[in-house]
A and B are shown apart, each in its own frame.
Chain A
Amino acid sequence: MTVPPLLSVRGLQAWYGRAHILTGVDLAVGRGEVVALMGRNGAGKTTTMKAIMGLLDRRSGAVAFDGRDVSALPPHRIARLGLGYVPEDRRVFTDLTVEENLEVGRQPPRDGAPHWTPERLYALFPNLAEMRGRRGGRMSGGEQQMLTLARTLMGNPSLLLLDEPSEGLAPRIVQQMADALRALKAEGLSILVSEQNLAFAAAVADRASVIEKGQIRFEGPMRTLLEDETVRRAYLAV
Chain B
Amino acid sequence: MSFYLVQFLSGLATAATLFLVSSGLTIVFGVTRIVNFAHGSFYMLGAYLGWTLVERWGGTPLGFWGAVAAASLAVGLLGALMEVGLLRRLYRSPELFQLLATFGVVLVVQDAASWIWGSEDLLGRRAPGLRGSVDILDQPFPLYDLVLIGLGPLVLGLLWLLFNRTRWGTLVRAATQDRDMASALGVDPARLFTGVLFLGSALAGLGGALQVPREAVNLHMDMAIVVEAFVVVVVGGMGSLTGAFIASLLIGQLQAFGILVFPQITLVLVFLFMAVVLVIRPYGLLGRAEDAPPTAASPGPPLIAATGVARWAPALLLALLAAVPLVAGDYALIVLTEVVILALLAASLHLLIGLGGLVSFGHAAYFGLGAYGAALLVKHFAAPMPMALAAAPLLAGLGALAAGWFCVRRSGLYFAMLTLAFAQIVWSVTFQWYGVTGGDNGILGVWPPDWAAGKAAYYWLTLALAGGALLLLRRAAFAPFGYTLRAGRDSALRAESVGIDVRRHQWLSFALAGSAAGLAGGLYAFAKGSVFPTLMAVPVSVDALVMVLMGGIQTLSGPVAGAALFHLLETEAMSRTDWWRLVLGAVILVLVLAFPKGVAGFVRDLWTRGRDS
A-B CB contacts (within 8 Å), total count: 60
B185 touches A55 (CB 8 A): no
Kindly state the separation between the CA atoms of A107 and B182 in the bound complex, as whole angstroms.
12
B173 touches A55 (CB 8 A): no
Known contacts: A100-B170, A104-B170, A104-B171. The answer to whether A94 contacts B187 by CB under 8 A is no
B177 touches A93 (CB 8 A): yes
Chain B residues with CB under 8 A of A74: 183
B186 touches A76 (CB 8 A): yes
The smallest C-beta distance from A83 to any residue of chain B, in angstroms, reads 9
Interface residue count on the B side (C-beta < 8 Å): 19
Against A, the Cβ 8 Å flags (1 = close, 0 = not) of B164-176 are: 0001001101100
The smallest C-beta distance from B266 to any residue of chain A, in angstroms, reads 37
B170 touches A75 (CB 8 A): no
The smallest C-beta distance from B302 to any residue of chain A, in angstroms, reads 14
Q: Which of B174, B177, B184 contacts A85 (CB 8 A)?
A: B184
Kindly state the separation between the CA atoms of A104 and B174 in the bound complex, as whole angstroms.
7
| Residue A87 lies at the interface, judged by CB distance under 8 Å to chain B | yes
Chain B residues with CB under 8 A of A120: none
Chain B residues with CB under 8 A of A75: 180, 183-184
| Residue B181 lies at the interface, judged by CB distance under 8 Å to chain A | yes
Known: A53-B184, A104-B171; 18 extra A-B contacts, CB below 8 A, are A57-B92, A74-B183, A76-B188, A76-B189, A85-B185, A87-B184, A91-B178, A93-B174, A93-B181, A95-B173, A96-B170, A96-B173, A104-B182, A104-B187, A105-B185, A105-B186, A107-B186, A152-B185
Q: Which residues of A contact B (CB under 8 A)?
A: 18, 53, 55, 57, 74-76, 79-80, 85, 87, 91, 93-96, 100-101, 103-107, 151-152, 155
A155 touches B186 (CB 8 A): yes
B183 touches A91 (CB 8 A): no
A93 touches B608 (CB 8 A): no
Interface of B is mostly: helix
Q: Which residues of B contact A (CB under 8 A)?
A: 92, 167, 170-171, 173-174, 177-178, 180-189, 608
Pull 24 A–B residue pairs with CB atoms less than 8 Å apart, ordered by A: A55-B180, A75-B183, A75-B184, A76-B184, A76-B187, A76-B188, A76-B189, A79-B183, A79-B184, A79-B186, A80-B186, A85-B184, A85-B185, A91-B178, A93-B178, A95-B173, A96-B174, A100-B173, A103-B170, A104-B171, A104-B182, A151-B185, A155-B185, A155-B186
The smallest C-beta distance from A137 to any residue of chain B, in angstroms, reads 10
Chain A residues with CB under 8 A of B186: 76, 79-80, 105, 107, 155
Kindly state the separation between the CA atoms of A76 and B181 in the bound complex, as whole angstroms.
9
Kindly state the separation between the CA atoms of A104 and B189 in the bound complex, as whole angstroms.
12
* Residue from A18, A93, A100, A106 with most neighbouring chain B CB atoms (10 Å): A93
